[in-house]
Structure 1
Amino acid sequence: HEGRHSLVALDCHSRAPLRVFMAEEKKKKVTVLDMSKYIDRSVRVKFMGGREVEGILKGYDALLNLVLDDTKEFLKAADDPSKLLDESRPLGLTVCRGTSVMLVCPTNGFEEIENPFLQEEAEEAE
């Protein structure tokens, strides 16, 4: 039996061998995302709550926990938390919890654009 360990014991009354199965090994979690192509590359990560960081992806697991090196966090404006400032602060080696990760993208070719829906909302309010 693959993935199972068995133990053979004798029944004291009939002396017939009994087979007792031990607990199955834990099944490995499989992720639908292939992050291996981003290992040792610069990635940008957005989190629940609006924080954003950028760093070199050094490792990950099936739960999307990430390990980033040379990480820098982009600071947000105090008056408008949805706006990022041009300022950043270095964080160094960082472990990012997978449950809070919303977006992971390579920094190569990354360009942020203005939200076109904000313009429509402003026009509707007038």
Structure 2
Amino acid sequence: MAGRKETALDLAKFVDKGVQVKLTGGRQVTGTLKGYDQLLNLVLDEAIECEREQDDPLKLSGKTRQLGLIVCRGTAVMLVSPTDGTDEIANPFLADGA
């Protein structure tokens, strides 16, 4: 085990492509991945934060906030997903009347 540690996530294929990043604390950011390191620190360009509802922090509001060039600290990153090729679907577990 004297070699370099590899991350479980191969982010090389997402460099210069759009990604959506969910962070601890409920923040969600979308931007272009410009760089990363083995600790999962991410550099995003043209980053946009999707704001949450004040009364229900689990729901996204329609508002966004331009952030520009940011660094997401690896300890706060929970999820990284590509923005291209993904679509939002209705929750199949919700009852029709809910």
TM bucket, shorter chain: 0.7 to 0.9
Look up the match of 1:69.
45
Establish whether residue 85 from structure 1 lines up as the match of residue 93 from structure 2.
no
Deviations along 1:37-82, one digit per CA (max 9) or x if unpaired, are 0000000001112110000000001111100000000010111110
- State the identity as a percent: 57
Q: 1:118–1:100: structure 2 CA closer, same or farther, 3 Å change rule?
A: farther
2:21 to 32, 38, 45: 45
Q: Which runs of 5+ in 2 are unaligned?
A: none
- Give the partner amino acid of 2:20: R
Q: Residue 37 of structure 1 aligns to a residue in which SS?
A: helix
Structure exhibiting the larger radius of gyration computed from Cα positions: 1
- TM-score, length of structure 2 as denominator length: 0.86
| Structure ranking higher on relative contact order (CA contacts 8 Å, 6+ apart) | 2
* Total equivalences in the alignment: 96
Compare the two structures and name the one with the higher helix fraction.
Answer: 1
Q: Under a length normalisation based on structure 1, what TM-score does the superposition of the two structures give?
A: 0.68
Gaps of at least 5 residues in structure 1 are 1-25
Q: CA RMSD in A?
A: 1.9
